């Protein structure tokens, strides 16, 4: 049992994956000597060598393109995209090659590639360093998309992602890198990579969320409890495919739902969740499914990012509106 920050938990998970399989290689900008911008890969090049932890040129399309070739030859590349907004130069490689190669080859070619992307705001950075591009990848058939929210999940989910034969986009909530929790490697993974988790039971409303917004929703639920409200919080964990049975059971129980995410609302993953819950739980719902998300603007300057991100006030306002029906 060790107390680890989320970023260190990913580091330890990557270390275990590399120890278990010599075909696992890590590649990205500054992942070696520097240990990554957020030091998530710190010490791995020293212990596993430059052939397995590779500092690449500043060329995201080259990183992913090289990973495709390595995966075809039997390796398991783990690619770090330094910041969320930097993934777009690699977008063509990801959606045109990584996502489609297995289907295009009639199942004969597997691409076990893990693409790690620190995402979301809250660290005082700006546009291209604080974005939430998960909806783009969830929309693309052939990709699987996950996001951890705490150190325990981070440790186990990264190992499961690396071991998967499918390409996985692994979103890491960068403003939660320094959150701490006890991690027990001997205990085994608490659940499958594809299972959602009810991280707070409740009876009145379900908050459906993921990644950096899980902690915010838990804080909102605790604040609402002081006002006599019993709120359930569901952490999706897997964004594509979503564990719908867990989500729908929760909403059928509470009869109200609010979806919370940092990404802009329009045509988003939050919109898909709201639509599916409305469709499947129509006769159980006592109020419309509400969404509390980022605004439909480019990410703002750091001085006003707290006005952009979903916070306790916006979530609790949605709680009040839902209970008013």
pLDDT in tens, 231-279: 999 999 999 999 999 999 999 999 999 999 999 999 999 999 999 999 9
* Cα→Cα distances 129→90, 118, 126, 154, Å: 16, 9, 6, 21
126 pLDDT tier (thresholds 50, 70, 90): confident
Cα 114 to Cα 117: distance, rounded to the nearest angstrom: 10
How far are the Cα atoms of 110, 136, 143, 194, 282 from residue 98, in angstroms, in the given order?
9, 14, 8, 20, 37
For residue 119, the SS3 value is: strand
Residue 196 structure tokens? 């959602």
For residue 42, give the nearest of 177, 187, 212 by alpha carbon. Answer: 177
Read off the tokens for 322. 């839902």
Give just the sign of the alpha carbon dihedral 135, 289, 174, 142. negative
pLDDT tens by residue, 37-86: 999 999 999 999 999 999 999 999 999 999 999 999 999 999 999 999 99
Q: Is 229 a catalytic residue?
A: no
Instruction: Using the predicted structure, report yes or no on whether residue 1 has a pLDDT greater than 90.
Output: no
The percentage of residues in the chain with a pLDDT greater than 70, rounded to a whole number, is: 100
User: What is the percentage of the chain residues whose pLDDT exceeds 90?
Assistant: 98
Task: For residues 255 and 235, give the distance between their C-alpha atoms in angstroms, rounded to a whole number.
Answer: 18
Angle between helices 151-163 and 6-20 (to 10 degrees): 30
All structural domains of the chain, each given as residue ranges with its CATH number in brackets, are 2-183 (3.40.50.970), 198-323 (3.40.50.920)
Catalytic one of 102, 128, 129, 229:
129
């Amino acid at each position: 049992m060790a107390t680890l920050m989320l970023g260190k938990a990913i580091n330890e998970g990557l270390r275990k994956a590399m120890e278990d399989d010599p075909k696992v290689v890590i590649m990205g900008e500054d992942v070696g000597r520097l240990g990554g911008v957020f030091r998530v890969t710190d010490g791995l090049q020293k212990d596993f060598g430059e052939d397995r932890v590779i500092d690449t040129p500043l060329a995201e399309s080259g990183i992913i393109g090289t990973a495709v070739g390595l995966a075809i030859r039997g390796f398991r590349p783990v690619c770090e995209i330094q910041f969320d907004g930097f993934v777009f130069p690699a977008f063509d490689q990801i959606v045109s090659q990584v996502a489609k190669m297995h289907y295009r080859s009639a199942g004969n070619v597997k691409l076990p590639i893990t693409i790690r992307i620190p995402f979301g705001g809250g660290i005082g950075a700006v546009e291209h360093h604080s974005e939430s591009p998960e909806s783009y990848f969830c929309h693309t058939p052939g990709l699987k998309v996950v996001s951890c929210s705490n150190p325990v999940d981070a440790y186990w989910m990264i190992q499961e992602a690396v071991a998967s034969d499918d390409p996985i986009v692994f979103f890491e909530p960068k403003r939660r890198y320094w959150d701490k929790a006890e991690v027990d490697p001997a205990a085994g993974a608490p659940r499958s990579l594809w299972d959602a988790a009810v991280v707070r039971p409740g009876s009145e409303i379900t908050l459906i969320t993921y990644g950096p917004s899980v902690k915010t929703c838990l804080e909102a639920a605790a604040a609402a409890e002081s006002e006599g409200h019993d709120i359930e919080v569901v952490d999706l964990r897997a964004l594509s495919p979503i564990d719908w049975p867990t989500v729908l059971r929760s909403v059928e129980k509470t009869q109200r739902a609010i979806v919370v995410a940092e990404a802009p609302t329009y045509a988003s993953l939050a919109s898909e969740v709201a639509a599916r819950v409305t469709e499947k739980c129509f006769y159980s719902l006592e109020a419309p499914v509400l969404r509390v998300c980022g605004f439909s603007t480019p990410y703002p300057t750091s001085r006003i990012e707290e006005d952009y991100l979903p916070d306790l006030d916006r979530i609790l306002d949605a709680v009040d509106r839902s209970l008013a029906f």
